[in-house]
Structure formats: C-alpha cells, structure tokens
Structure 1
Amino acid sequence: MTAPLIALAVGRGTGPELAPVFERALERITALHGTRAEVVRSPRLYHSYVSLREQARDTGQFERLTGEDAAHYERFCRDQAARGVRAVFRTAINAQSLYLVRQRLAAVKVEPLTAGPARLLLVRDQAQGFYTGENRHTPGTVVRTMEFSRAVTVRILEYAVRRARALWPQGPSRVLMAYKYHLLDGALDAWTEGLAEQLGVAVELFQPDTVNRNLITHGPEDRTVLVAGNEWADIMHVVLLDRYGAQRQEDRCTENVHLAPELDELTEYQTVHGSADDLAGRGVVNPVATLRAAARIAERHVHCPGAEAALEAALAAVRGRGVRTPDLGGRAGTTEVVDAVLAELAGGGAEAGISAADRSGTSAAEAGAGAR
C-alpha cells in the first residue's frame, strides 16, 4: 500500500527545532501501528515576524518578503492538494503572510470544546475581515483594505453545520454567529436571512460582546456551533481554551480547514503557540503541541486508530514523573521530553523517563528561566 503523503511547512523561530520533533513522532507512532507516512517538506523556510523585523530595512521590503512567503505557501498548499495530500503540519509563520493565504484559500480554524456537560464547536472565520486584506502605505498612514463576501460566509456556515453533524449524531442545536455586523450596513443580516431553513438549524447573529455576556451568565447550550469573526475569535480562542478546555495554549494543537473547492478541504494542523523566537536554539521549547499534532495526523490520515489516546496516556505518565519543559515548571529540555514520551509510547516508560529527567541538567533549567 502506498504510504500517505503528509506535508510539512516550517517557519523561523523555533520551527526548525519542532519540525524534527514532528517527523520523529510521526515515524514512531506510525511504526507502532505497522504503517508509515511519507513527509513532503516545503523547500522554503518561512519568516516569522521577528525574522522579518531583523531582515527588512523598510516597510516596502517587509511587504515584499511577506508577499513572497504568502505566494510560496499558497502554491505549496495547492500543489499538495492536487497530489492528493490531505494534511499539512505547519509551524508558526508571520501572521500577515499566513492570513493572505487563508483569505485566498477560504480557511477556517476548528476547535471542539466542552463546558461541563455542554459541547461547543468553535469555527473561526479566517477568510474575511481585518486579519485578511492588503496594506497600502503612504507617509504616516497605513490603509488596510479587506472584504466580506456572501459566498464565503455561506460556505463557512455550511461547513460548520456539516462538521457539527459529523461530530454529534443529534446534530447542532443552534448556530451563533459572533461578528461586528453593525459595521457592515446590514449585509450579514441579509446574507444569513433564510439560512436557518436551508441548513435545518437555527442561525442567530450576535455582537461579540453579547456572546461574551451570555457565555459568562449562562454558559453555552449543548451542541452549540459558534461561528466567529477573527477580530473576536483570535482573542477568545485562548480564553475559551482556558475556561472550557482546561489546557494551556502552549500544549494545544489545532486545525485549519481550507474551504476553497480546489483544495478539497485540505487540513492544516498547527501548534496554538506562536514562533517563540526568544526560545529559538535554546533547546527548551515545549514540544507537547507538536507531539499532539503528530498523533492526530497519524490517527486521522495514516490509519493509526487510538494514536491520540495513546499519546495522551504517554504525556500523562511523563508529566507524572516530572519530565517537563521550564514553561511548565520542569527542568527538562525539548529532546528529553520527546525521548520520554516516545519511550513511553513504545513501552519503555518509567526507566526512560527518569533517565530523561536526569539528563536535562541545570543548563536547560537555567536557559528556560524566561520560557513561555
């Protein structure tokens, strides 16, 4: 059987350290399941914001390098989708480049959450609004041009409902749209009129502050789909993770789905944390989100049932032995944590984990004093 192709795109900052973690974890997990994947790496090392600041002499060069990264990554995604690739793992890259691609490929970020007995699906609109668009510079001003479209809005809502029905056998109870729709001259109201009947579920449009107030006061109703504009969802994603996900941003991976028809819902997995340029080259970046991404891709795209649950058990065992990076209060470096988790997966657990903790040494702890 031909090995599934998995794409890999690497940004600067800690990207060059996390890419090998992903490759190693994916290879180990698939081997334990008697299968394998072929990783196709983008030939370009994409900029982080920090690396752009270091290289660009002025806003014109900043804009040019941003555009070059966006054009290259868009071509890479299109080429991989045309080859039949269904999944990409990407480390963090500069936001402006990334959002140019997300606009062109109509991307959404998807995050299932629970709040006690209530289940919530956050579908973050990354294809429209302030985060997308292009800049025009004049002396002392930046003019940012962006757009919303009915076609993209409907496509996102249709996907959100379809995804919720795949997640919950009973289907969604309601769809809440959190957008600053008062700024759009009634366009979103008009576009969503009649969609409830078409989608077979209540669709309600709210201002983001109203959604916040209702979530604080009442909590989410079970099986709620929250479709949100990026202006709100980028900030609230981390807040919702903290409130309902019971996990740190640094430990999470998430997925972005490209809804442009020619991409056939190519899914891009990423760590929730950013490029962490301040940690680059120090060997203390937290690898947990990258390990989780490898397990998720292995289970969903490389025929490895149970890979995510097995990884979670390994992470819990390793944490229980105190093998943690400095941002979590530990003394271990990146490699020590990865060694311990992969050994646990392979059944070599406690002894390997203790060895990893011993090897972490004082230097890793000192180097990670400012880790995040």
Structure 2
Amino acid sequence: MSQARKIVILPGDGIGPEIIAEGRRVLETVNQQYDLGLSLQTCLFGGAAYDASGSPLPEDTLSACREADAILLGAIGGPQYDTAPRDLRPERGLLGLRSELKLFSNLRPALLYPELADASSLKPELVAGLDLMIVRELTGGIYFGKPRGIEERNGERVGFNTLVYSESEIRRIAVSAFEIARQRGSRLCSVDKMNVLEVSELWREVVIEVGKDYPDVELTHMFVDNAAMQLVRAPKQFDVIVTSNMFGDILSDAAAMLTGSIGMLPSASLDEAGKGMYEPIHGSAPDIAGQGVANPLATILSVSMMLRYTLKETAAADAIDSAVAQVLAQGYRCKDIASGEANEQLINTTQMGDAIIAALQAGADS
C-alpha cells in the first residue's frame, strides 16, 4: 500500500454536492481496487461556508487544504451571494485558496469523445478526435495586479486594474507547459498580445528563453485574437496552449464548447511541487441544483486527473478514463450531452455514477 495520502473534498454550492457525491464514490472505488491508501476529508467552502461561518474560506478549511496531498472541488457561487460584500463572495474564496496554496498552473483539457461529436456546435469533421490542453497561468496577471479599484476622477467614476507579470511567474508557467507538452505531442503554442502589450513582450521573451531547455518541443506563438479565431476554425491544429490568466480564462471556455458540453471537462490547478486542486470547469448551475440531472462526468474525470498528475497513480486514472469512454459508448447520457438519438439512454446524476462504478468493477473482474 502507498503511504497514506490525504484528499480534501470541497462540495461547495449549487450542483456541487451532487456531482461531488459521484466523484467521491468513484474515488472510493479505485481507492479500494488499487489499494491507494487515500483518506478523504470533507470541508465547507464557498457560499456554503459563508452561510455557516461568514467566510467563503474558513481558516479550518484552508488549514486542511494546506495539509492535503490533493483537493477535489465541486462548484461554488449562486445569485444569492451577488449582494454579499465583494471580499466575502464565494469567488473570492476560490481566488484566495488558489493564491494561498500557490496553485499557479491551471490545466484545462478539451477532449472530444467520438460519441459526442454531433453535440459540438462545430461540424463533426472539424472536432472529431480533438484532444488539446490549455495551460493557464492562475495566480498572476490582471486578476491579482495592484493597484485596482473604482474611484472618482474629475467628477466621474473610473475603474482600473493592473496587468503585471514578473519574469519568474512567466518562467514557471512556461516550464509547466513545456513539461506537459513533452508528455503529449511535443507541440506548444504560446498565446500573447505582444504587438500591443509590454507585458506580452516580456512573456514571449521568457517563453522563448525557457524553450531553449526543451529542444524536443516545437514552440510557436500566436496573438490571442487569432488564437480565439483558430480555436473555432481549426482547433485540431493545437496540442498544448500556454497563456496568461485572463486570456486562458476566456480561451479555455471557448475550447470547452468545442467538445459539446462544458459538463464534460475537468481541470487541475497545480503548485510547483505538483500538489493540486481538481475541479470541473462548469459553474454551480443553480437553475438545476437539487434536481439530480447534473452531469458528474467532469468531476469524475477531475478525479482521474488528480490520480494522474498529483498522486501518480496512472493505472487507476486510466481505469476511470476507460470507464467513462465505455459508458458513453454504451449510450448512457445525462441531459446536457443527450442528442436524442435512438441508441441513447437518458440517466440522472446518480445513475451515471452507478454506470461508471459498474464499468470500473467489470474492468477489475476481467
């Protein structure tokens, strides 16, 4: 048995508790099957924590996350928190957790399963076989830069934010991206806006410098506006994309819709040692919370990423990925990925978890 490792689970808000319940069941299944020696602890976070304690990131939750080997997050937020003080909204808790844990490298894969090609908003021939990874810098840039605020100048309100990156911040995200590219197709596209922004000039210079240490990885560069266009014109030209916080936020959501549903996509946020927080990229979907119809596959695939990138349990990760592919091939669909074809079987959140676990158990028995 591996040395005991601690996993902190943050269900959060909206559909978070529902999808986390299925992710936890899958994690418990492979924990037993592969003798992983994982211990699981659930903590309050986001709006649920604000309701209970007045803070979206209570100190005991932060302490548990600091001590954990990895973190599994559901979703946070909801319209009921829009009137809360800005510093106490659920999203500020998420930004705070990323910052406190120095989770600077955000991995967002966009993988299209063959059975879901028709669910994409693009023509199937443009997206069939899509498999790209966006590496987004997560703790710097305009979301964290100072000064920031809203103030009165010359009789009118002015809002301002600061876009700033240090050389060291750029270097570490570049290293992370090159390492990921080396594990995949050895092609890395760095996205910036260096024709307009001095920050992007430095970004490109540093990425090129880092690239000299990775001669086996093909490095290209693209302006962010062109990258957005290319993602919807010919997305399969990309293998790994590395970019800044705001650009990555936008491009990764665009890439998500290429796959047919944002409910299918996991993500990882890593520190320099490889410790990570794993979460689906979709939101808390308060409009369907409590109805049992949310798609848990992005959360289940986040469990797979956690096993692969932080815990280094490749066999267990492969088993989950294979189970998801098998269940989709069998025609099981949650509402968000259903196309109405005759061979599909519409199932709810819990039933999807049941199907994945059945596939895992069948794989273990074969």
- TM-score, length of structure 2 as denominator length: 0.71
* TM-superposed deviation, 1:28: 0.8
Partner of 2:94: 98
For structure 1, which segment, 305-314 or 282-291, has the greater mean C-alpha deviation from structure 2 after superposition? 305-314
Q: Report SS of the residue matched to 1:95.
A: helix
Partner of 2:226: 210
- The one of 161, 184, 192 aligned to 1:179: 192
Partner of 1:158: 175
C-alpha contact (below 8 Å) 2:11/2:74 kept by paired residues: yes
The aligned amino acid for 1:211 is A
C-alpha contact (below 8 Å) 2:149/2:160 kept by paired residues: yes
Take 1:149 and 1:303, find their aligned partners in 2: how far apart are those partners? 31
Partner of 2:118: none
In structure 2, do the counterparts of structure 1 residues 221 and 24 end up closer, same or farther at CA, with 3 Å as the change threshold? closer
Give runs of aligned pairs for residues 47-86 of structure 1, distance below 5 A.
47=47, 68-69=55-56, 72=59, 75-76=62-63, 79-80=66-67, 85-86=68-69
* TM-superposed deviation, 1:117: 8.7
Take 1:299 and 1:214, find their aligned partners in 2: how far apart are those partners? 29
For the pair 1:10 / 2:11, whether they are aligned, the reply is: yes
* TM-superposed deviation, 1:250: 0.4
The aligned amino acid for 2:285 is A
Partner of 2:124: none
C-alpha contact (below 8 Å) 2:319/2:363 kept by paired residues: no
Partner of 1:145: 161
* TM-superposed deviation, 1:38: 0.5
The aligned amino acid for 2:270 is V
C-alpha contact (below 8 Å) 1:286/1:325 kept by paired residues: yes
In structure 1, list runs of 5 or more residues that go unmatched.
56-63, 350-372
Partner of 1:293: 302
C-alpha contact (below 8 Å) 1:253/1:292 kept by paired residues: yes
Q: Report SS of the residue matched to 1:346.
A: helix
* TM-superposed deviation, 1:153: 1.7
Partner of 1:347: 362
| Aligned length, in residue pairs | 318
Partner of 2:335: 326
In structure 2, do the counterparts of structure 1 residues 160 and 74 end up closer, same or farther at CA, with 3 Å as the change threshold? farther
* TM-superposed deviation, 1:209: 1.3
In structure 2, do the counterparts of structure 1 residues 240 and 269 end up closer, same or farther at CA, with 3 Å as the change threshold? same
Partner of 1:188: 200
* TM-superposed deviation, 1:269: 1.0
> What value does the CA root-mean-square deviation take over the aligned residues?
3.8
* TM-superposed deviation, 1:285: 1.4
Q: Report SS of the residue matched to 1:341.
A: helix
CA deviations over 1:25-65 (Å, ceiling 9, x no partner): 111112122333101333x23128xx98xx8xxxxxxxx96
In structure 2, do the counterparts of structure 1 residues 287 and 207 end up closer, same or farther at CA, with 3 Å as the change threshold? same
- TM-score, length of structure 1 as denominator length: 0.70
Q: Report SS of the residue matched to 2:142.
A: coil
C-alpha contact (below 8 Å) 1:126/1:132 kept by paired residues: no
